[in-house]
């Protein structure tokens, strides 16, 4: 399997611009997660979907952030307008909850490294 695929891998943008991060989960996985990682705050869950439906968006920092999952193989995380404090690595991850006791192993993509200047 190709794993979780994210794009772009790196993006540098100016403050105020719109940023769109994209994710293709592992085929067959029914959960998709967006995490953000910074040195100060570590790995934070922003939002997650189950079968394309947002389940918990309590980690989305503010209205500037939005996420969609129009189908089982694609999700976007959008920041509009972007600010320097949004600079971070954004990870998309997916999992397949086949059995509670198998562990809901989450597989991460390689991340999108965002710098807002």
Partner 1 sequence: QKEVEQNSGPLSVPEGAIASLNCTYSDRGSQSFFWYRQYSGKSPELIMFIYSNGDKEDGRFTAQLNKASQYVSLLIRDSQPSDSATYLCAVSRPNDYKLSFGAGTTVTVRA
| 107 forms part of the interface with partner 1 (CB under 8 A) | yes
Q: What is the dihedral of CA 57, 20, 110, 27, to 10 degrees?
A: 70
- Three-state SS at 79: strand
| 108 forms part of the interface with partner 1 (CB under 8 A) | yes
Long-range CB contacts for residues 61-70, cutoff 8 Å, separation at least 24: 67/34, 69/32
Nearer to partner 1 by Cβ, of 80 and 104: the residue is: 104
Nearer to partner 1 by Cβ, of 35 and 65: the residue is: 35
Pick from 45, 54, 72, 78 the residue near partner 1 by CB under 8 A: 45
Site for partner 1 in 47-86 (CB under 8 A): 48, 50, 56
Please name every residue paired with 36 in a beta bridge, in sequence order, or none if there are none. Answer: 44, 90
Give the binding site for partner 1 (CB under 8 A): 31, 33, 35, 42-43, 45, 48, 50, 56, 91, 95, 97, 100-101, 103-111
């Amino acid at each position: 399997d190709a794993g979780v695929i994210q794009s772009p891998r790196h993006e540098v943008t100016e403050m105020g611009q719109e940023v769109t991060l994209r994710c293709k989960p592992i085929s067959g996985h029914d959960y998709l997660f967006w995490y953000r990682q910074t040195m100060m705050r570590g790995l934070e869950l922003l939002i997650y979907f189950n079968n394309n439906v947002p389940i918990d968006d309590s980690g989305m920092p503010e209205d500037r952030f939005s996420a969609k999952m129009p189908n089982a193989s694609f999700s976007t995380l959008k920041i509009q307008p972007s600010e320097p404090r949004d600079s971070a690595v954004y990870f998309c991850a997916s999992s397949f909850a086949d059995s509670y006791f198998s562990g809901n192993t989450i597989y991460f993509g390689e991340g999108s490294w965002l710098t807002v200047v």
